[in-house]
Chain A
Amino acid sequence: MTLRLAIIGCGKIADQHLLAFRRIGGGEVVALCDRELLMANQLGDRFGITACFADAAEMLRTTKPDVVHITTPPQGHFTLAKLCLEAGAHVYLEKPFTVTAAEAEELISLAENKKLKITAGHNYQFTLEMLEMRRLVAQDFLGGKAVHVESHWPYDLSDASYVGPILGSKTHWVRQLPGQLFHNLISHGIAKLAEFLGDEVKITAHAHQSPRLHSLNGQEVQDELRVLLRDENGTTATFCFSTQIKPGQNFLRICGPKNSLFVDNSSGTLLRLENKSYKSYLTFFVPPLKLARQHFHNARINVFNFLNGKLHQDSGMKELIEQFHRSIKTQGAPPIPYREIILTARIMDEIFAQIKNPAK
């Protein structure tokens, strides 16, 4: 089965989708759509795609794609995804999946009723080191259910091309989201936690504005977030989003009852933290050497994967798209369980409610 793909939303991220889709091969891009037709045309000109539309309904009617990737700002996700599902197309929704958890639940329910697939653009869950982490967890490396999970997600404020327009306009779409800057940036980091948490999660969230953002005239926008989570089974988690911590920390630490894992998404590496004890001063000599060996192994693996063409800047996106499209073709399970998509949205809802009203 050759998948016929359409893209709605021809902004920055659409390029990455098209490049990943090209690398996967075996499919056809049948249409590009953006409410600003010139945006669809510029993307079409660069990728040799002629069917460009300004109206999503017309695009769906005319080209009848099998799958639609929606890469618009999140405010349009719910309406557009619903339109696509009702037209019989599978849907890949860029992050954040929807603006609220209620919308996420409704979309997933609609997809299930229509026997269509839907997924969220949590591509950082599909990088090479995350796939290896998942393989080890499936092999019970942790020795049982995770006891505690930590997720750090950074953002560098020096990228003025992103922050500048957001701070420059109160009507910018990021400023219109309930969680503003956090809403557009934290779903990757929260989704990593959702994989290890049960459905009933208690949350305590704190947010503030960093001095750096204050100096940039950040107005009401906050950029530092700390969250403590605990699920119904007692698994705890912490989440840290920071624009200030240097170097930027992008990692996931999964602490198990037997062993633990440390996934560093910044360097694409994975450390196995094994529960072994050593006599006397060997405690100070052996574990560092074993860690050094793992770091060396990670470097070797990354070089090997680079030379073999497996390590790309957007390995995660290609892998997620490939798995999602395969699930459509084989009618298999979607790459991200729907439970996790909904849980991620619920956690985000609660975080934004708490930071908006700290007294709550």
Chain B
Amino acid sequence: MLMDSIVSPTDRILVTGSNGFIGTRVVENLLARGFLNLRLFVRPSSKLDKLKQILGRYSAGKNAQIVAGDLLSREDCQAAARDVSVVIHLAAGFEKSFAGAFMNSALATRNLIEAFLELGQPKRFVNVSSFAVYSNLKMERHALLDETCPLEDAPQERHDAYGFGKVQQEKIVRDYAQKRNLPFVILRPGAVYGPGKPDLSGRVGINTFGFFIHLGGGNELPLTFVDNCAEAIALAALKPGMDGEIFNVVDDETMTSREFLTARKAAKPFFSIWIPYPLAKLGSVLWENYSKKSGGQLPPVFNRRRCAAEWQGNRYSNQKLHDRLGWKQKVPLADAMKLFLAQYQ
């Protein structure tokens, strides 16, 4: 249990996306801290075996309420948010279309916040966002990317519906903070990895053409192991005096894209080719120009903004995470990689 918390163990905490890759780890973190009154929001079609397994490990797991619903339904949001003190909003839209991403990220968040403000006992709304909201187009290669960096202002050009949804979701949260005094914290995890997520981050490379193209080269990856990320989320939900703060979440120990790919291939080999960044940039510029000239005959899946965001390379800081939240990397890199790579055996 955190000694210094904005809620007591009996206060109700709502976790959306609780059955997901990060959500299950956050639930376990909260149970381990002794929180007795969790409400876990899941999609009706979800298979809950993993979540139920975690609940079974803790006596407080018996008290956990599993609520199935759709965050696009205001009624479902009201059922979820009633009497809740803290919301940890992890549910995310992975729609490929911009409209779909907006609906499942921004609209869903709006519905949830309104229900929380109306029927909850709002102490904190933790909005779990993503590094996808940043734009480093105008930054130097390997410049430091922290919480003060600019957000993406042309997601359509970047052809990134997910990032668009997340930018709009953050905007909704800030709007409600300004207009309705929503107490919020925003977390932006980097590349979250761990068992249960076998796909490699796009920052390492892509599989678009039927084989793996390694584009990250020697760039530092903003890695955060899923349990370390869950720890940051739990602290952001509980620690007093954090309202209005934004935190990037990356581990102390990270790897380069090449090191990560090498480790992954050692666990289960596959073919890949490396394309250096200048070539990737040239290809992206040519692709984007042709896409524009042809009126979208080729969708702008490769473009300057995406190329910069994913493969230009940055350095990352978790100083604020340490200083303000008191976060510490619970799982060392070596252990984290063992757990991550075991899923390929």
Interface residues of A (CB under 8 A from B): 10-12, 14-15, 19, 22-23, 36, 38-39, 42-43, 46, 161, 164-165, 167-169, 171, 216-217, 306, 309, 311-313
Do A168 and B99 touch across chains, with their CB atoms under 8 A apart?
A: no
Least Cβ–Cβ distance between A206 and chain B, in angstroms: 27
Q: Are A161 and B45 in contact (CB under 8 A)?
A: no
Query: 5 A–B contact pairs at CB < 8 A?
Result: A15-B99, A42-B106, A161-B95, A168-B70, A312-B294
Residues of A within 8 A of B96 (CB): 161
A residues less than 8 Å from B94 (CB atoms): 161
**CB-CB < 8 A to A15: which residues of B?**
97-99
Q: Report how far A313 CA is from B295 CA in the complex, Å.
A: 11
Is B329 at the interface (CB under 8 A from chain A)?
no
Q: How far is the CA of A216 from the CA of B106 in the complex (A)?
A: 27
Chain B residues closer than 8 Å to A19, beta-carbon distance:
295-296
Contact B45 A164 (CB under 8 A): yes
Q: How far is the CA of A165 from the CA of B294 in the complex (A)?
A: 34
Nearest-neighbour CB distance to chain A for B262, whole angstroms, equals: 31
**Once bound together, how far apart are the Cα atoms of A217 and B48, in whole Å?**
13
Taking A46-B98, A164-B45, A217-B45 as contacts, is the C-beta distance between A38 and B296 under 8 angstroms? no
In chain B between 141 and 187, which residues have their CB closer than 8 angstroms to a CB of chain A? 156, 168
Separation in Å of the A181 CB from the closest CB of chain B? Answer: 14
Expressed in whole angstroms, the Cα–Cα distance for A216 and B45 within the complex equals 8
The residue in chain B whose Cβ has the minimal distance to the Cβ of A315 is: B297
Q: Please measure, in the bound complex, the distance between the C-alpha atom of A46 and the C-alpha atom of B156, giving whole angstroms.
A: 7
Are A42 and B99 touching (Cβ within 8 A)?
A: yes
CB distance A169 to B99 under 8 Å?
Answer: no
Q: How far is the CB of A192 from chain B (nearest CB, A)?
A: 25
Kindly state whether residue B43 has any CB partner on chain A within 8 Å: yes
What's the nearest-Cβ distance from chain A to residue B231, in Å?
29
Are B295 and A168 within 8 A (Cβ)? Answer: no
Least Cβ–Cβ distance between B69 and chain A, in angstroms:
8
> Who on chain B is nearest to A217 by CB?
B45
Q: Is the CB of B99 within 8 A of A39?
A: yes
| Interface contact A312-B70, CB-CB below 8 Å | no
- Greatest chain B CB density within 10 A among A15, A42, A309 is at A42
Within the assembled complex, what's the spacing in Å between the Cα atoms of A10 and B110?
A: 17
Nearest A residue to B168, CB-CB: A42
| Bound CA span A10–B107, Å | 13
The 10 nearest A-B residue pairs measured at CB: A168-B45, A12-B97, A168-B44, A23-B295, A42-B102, A12-B99, A46-B156, A11-B99, A167-B45, A312-B297
**B100 at the A interface (CB under 8 A):** yes
Q: Which residue of A lies closest to B155 (CB)?
A: A46
Question: Which residues does chain A contribute within 8 Å of B295, judged by CB atoms?
Answer: 19, 22-23, 309, 312
Q: A19-B296, A168-B44, A312-B297 are in contact. Are A39 and B95 (CB under 8 A)?
A: no
The answer to whether A42 and B98 touch (CB under 8 A), given A36-B107, A312-B297, is: yes
Supposing A38-B110, A169-B70 touch, asked if A309 and B43 sit within 8 A by C-beta, the answer is no
| Smallest CB separation, B164 vs chain A (Å) | 8
CB-based nearest A residue for B110? A38
Cα-based distance from A14 to B100 in the complex (angstroms): 11
* Structural contact, A23 and B296, CB atoms closer than 8 A: yes
Could you tell me the distance between the alpha carbons of A311 and B95 in the complex, rounded to whole angstroms? 26
Assuming the contacts A167-B45, A168-B43, asked whether A311 and B297 have C-beta atoms less than 8 A apart, the reply is yes
Give the residues in chain A near B95, CB-CB below 8 Å: 12, 161
Minimum C-beta distance from B306 to chain A (A) = 16
* Assembled-state Cα–Cα distance A199/B168 (Å): 50
Smallest CB separation, B259 vs chain A (Å): 32
- The answer to whether B100 touches A12, judged by C-beta atoms less than 8 angstroms apart, is yes
For residue B294, which residue of chain A has the nearest CB? Answer: A309
Bound state CA distance, A169 and B44, in angstroms? 7
Q: How far is the CA of A11 from the CA of B107 in the complex (A)?
A: 12
User: How far is A313 from B99 in the complex, measured between Cα atoms in Å?
Assistant: 19
Closest CB of chain A to B280's CB: distance in Å? 24
B30 located at the interface, meaning its Cβ lies under 8 Å from any Cβ of chain A in the complex: no
Cα-based distance from A261 to B206 in the complex (angstroms): 40
With a cutoff of 8 Å between Cβ atoms, the chain A residues found around residue B156 in the complex are 46
With A19-B295, A161-B95, A164-B45 already in contact, 14 other A-B pairs whose C-beta atoms are closer than 8 Å:
A10-B99, A12-B97, A14-B99, A15-B97, A19-B296, A23-B296, A39-B107, A42-B99, A168-B70, A309-B294, A309-B295, A309-B297, A312-B295, A313-B299
B87 at the A interface (CB under 8 A):
no
Which of chain A's residues have a CB closer than 8 A to the CB of B117? none
Interface bits B63-77 vs A (CB < 8 Å: 1, else 0): 000000010010000
Q: Taking the complex as formed, is B103 at the interface, i.e. its CB lies under 8 A from any CB of chain A?
A: yes
- Most chain B CB atoms below 10 A, which of A23, A168, A306, A309: A168
Q: Measured between C-beta atoms, what is the minimum distance from A145 to chain B in Å?
A: 37
CA distance A167 to B297 in the complex (A): 33
What is the bound-complex CA distance between A311 and B73, given in angstroms?
A: 40
Q: Which residue of A lies closest to B69 (CB)?
A: A169
CA distance A161 to B43 in the complex (A): 12
Distance from B42 Cβ to chain A, minimum over Cβ atoms (Å): 10
Q: In the complex, which residues 309-342 of chain B have their Cβ closer than 8 Å to any Cβ of chain A?
A: none
Beta-carbon nearest neighbor of B94 in chain A: A161
Contact B297 A306 (CB under 8 A): yes
Q: Mark B46-78, 1 if CB is under 8 A from A, else 0.
A: 000000000000000000000000100100000
- Contacts A309-B295, A311-B297, A312-B297 given; indicate if A43 touches B110 (C-beta within 8 A): no
Of B73, B94, B296, most buried by chain A (CB within 10 Å of CB) is B296
Task: Determine the residue in chain B with the shortest Cβ distance to A36.
Answer: B107
Residues B296 and A161 in contact, CB atoms below 8 Å apart: no
Query: How near does chain A come to B49, taking the closest CB pair, in angstroms?
Result: 14
Does B99 contact A165, Cβ atoms closer than 8 Å? Answer: no
B288 to chain A, nearest CB (A): 16
Q: Which residue in chain A gives the minimum CB-CB distance to B43?
A: A168
C-alpha spacing A36/B72, complex, angstroms = 11
Contacts of A168 in B (CB 8 A): 43-45, 70
Contact with A along B84-122 (1 / 0, CB 8 A): 000000000011111110110011001000000000000
Question: Closest CB of chain A to B311's CB: distance in Å?
Answer: 24
Closest CB of chain B to A73's CB: distance in Å? Answer: 13
